[in-house]
A and B are shown apart, each in its own frame.
Chain A
Amino acid sequence: MSGIGSGITGEMKEMTYAFPIEGGDFIKAGHASSNIKKILNQLSLDPAIIRRIAVAMYEAEVNVVAHAYRGSMKVFISPEKIRVRVEDEGPGIPDIEKAMQEGYSTASEKVREMGFGAGMGLSNIKKNTDKLDIRSTINKGTVVEMTTFTKPKEA
Chain B
Amino acid sequence: MALSGIEIFKKLPKKNCGECGVPTCLAFAMKLATGQAELVACPYVSDDVRAAIDEASAPPIRTLTIGAGDRAVKLGGETVMFRHEKRLENPPGLALVLSDTMDDSVVNEKLSKFKYLEFERVGLILRPQMLALKEESGDAGKFAAFVKRVIDQMDAAIILMSDRPEVISEALKVSKDKKPLIYAATNDTAEAMGSLAKESACPLAVKGSGLDEVMAITDKLLGMGLKDLVIDSQPVNVKKALEDQVVIRRSALVKKVKQLGFSTITFPGQLTDNKMKETLIASLLIAKYAGVIVLSEMEGHNVFPLLLASLNIYTDPQRPMAVEEKVYEIGGPREDSPVLITSNFSLTYFIVSGEVESSRIPAWLLIKDTEGLSVLTAWAAGKFAADTVAVFIKKCGIADRVKHRKLVIPGYLAGMSGELEEELPDWQILVGPREAAHLSAYLKQWSA
A and B form one complex: no
Give A contacts to B, CB under 8 Å.
none
Give B contacts to A, CB under 8 Å.
none
